Structure 1
Amino acid sequence: MVMVEVRQRLVVGISGASGVIYGIRALQRLSELGIETHLIMSRAAKITLAHETDLKVAAVEAMADVVYSPDDIGAAVSSGSFATMGLLVAPCSIRTLSEIATGVTSSLLPRAADVALKERRTVVLMVREAPLHAGHLKSMLAANDMGAIIAPPVPAFYTRPASVDDIVDHSVGRALDLFGLRIDIPRWRE
């Protein structure tokens, strides 16, 4: 048997929640680290992108190594035999969280999460919603119990951020830490 070295790859999901900049910044940082990225943008994410940025969908897709349609249930990332480090959903809408928590795989993004969870890979959900009702909290607990990491992009003010970019960079850096990837961000007492 011949062993082939495979470049590290991470699936990045961008759902329709406010905060598409988190997914965009993750793609940028992962590229800097030489990590192969596989992007799934939900239809709602494309709408949110138009409201929150001046970027076009094609520009965001160009940041990824591979792009999948959210309807492509037969995509490589829908199979456990396709090796990845896991999945980062940034931002993660309550709908996406709920589908992941209940095992509903109506589109590729929750299917990719389902596959990553069953393969015991890291799944990080940057849930963007507030305030939260009991149903949201139950979905978070269910996803957590299945192995997902719930990591809302909560600003750390000990870093003394001077801009929104500083806040976004820190939140994305902390999410990437959960995959064992370190980018240069301010850290407590470092």
Structure 2
Amino acid sequence: MRLIVAITGATGAIYGVRLLQVLREAPEVETHLLVSDAGVLNLHQELDMGRKEVEALADVVHNVRDVGAAIASGSFQSEGMIVAPCSMKTLAAIAHGLSDNLITRAADVVLKERRRLVLMVRETPFNLAHLRNMTAVTEMGGIVFPPLPAFYHRPQNIAEMVDHTLGRVLDLYGLAHHLAPRWRGMGE
């Protein structure tokens, strides 16, 4: 199974890094990583991590400027793509088919091939342009997945909140995990 993972310039770089860490432990998954220039800045700002540290977590790394890479073609077989986090700039480019870099081209390919595209959009509050772009991506078959924390499992720290959210994302791809407890109903 191949999954494309992109980290863009929105806040929440922890989602992309933790996703790569979890997928690294899944031998059946081959990860293809893309990191935007703004994503690199956020990795440094939020996690004190450099590009090379994050790239070491992936099986294959692609340059965002290489629009001729294998993942730019529908003939590249994958289960889909997760953009974690997804900036509003990237969301807008995907919503409008602006394949101006490999992140947006790969997302375009995933949509046109009817594969699963998950965008972990990060912005607050949303303006009308953001909402319309989310609607457009949803109408194209993408999944808009703002990484909103859940509290019913009573998380004790940020790591548990991140893991719970990523567990829900992995569920969308049918990937087994033990990142968070499953809801068993009230009082159980």
The residue type equivalent to 2:47 in the other structure is T
> Equivalents in 1 of 2:4, 2:132: separation in Å?
25
The code of the aligned residue for 1:187 comes to R
Q: Distance in 2 between matches of 1:27 and 1:141?
A: 27
Q: Does 1:126 align with 2:120?
A: yes
How many positions carry a matched residue from both structures?
A: 183
Measure the CA separation in 1 of the matches of 2:89 and 2:176.
29
With the length of structure 2 as denominator, give the TM-score of the two structures: 0.95
Give unpaired runs (5+ residues) of structure 1.
1-7
Shift of 1:181: 1.2
1:32 counterpart residue number: 25
Identity, % of aligned positions: 53
Matched, 1:22 2:15: yes
For the pair 1:189 / 2:184, whether they are aligned, the reply is yes
Point out where structure 2 has 5 or more consecutive residues left out of the alignment.
none
Q: CA shift at 1:152, angstroms?
A: 0.6
Aligned to 1:86: 80
The reply to whether residue 11 of structure 1 matches residue 4 of structure 2 is: yes
Cα deviation for residue 159 of structure 1 reads: 1.2
Counterpart of 1:158, as a letter, is Y
Shift of 1:155: 0.6
What is the TM-score normalised by the length of structure 1? 0.94
The equivalent residue for 2:96 is 102
Which residue of structure 2 lines up, in the alignment, with residue 5 of structure 1?
none
Aligned-partner Cα distance in 1 for 2:32–2:164: 22
* Structure 1 runs, 4 residues or longer, greater than 2 Å off: none
Tell me how far apart the structure 1 counterparts of residues 176 and 7 of structure 2 sit (CA, whole Å).
21
Matched, 1:47 2:32: no
Deviation at 1:182, TM superposition (A): 2.6
> Over aligned residue pairs, what C-alpha RMSD do you find?
0.9
* Counterpart-to-counterpart distance in 1, 2:135 and 2:20: 27
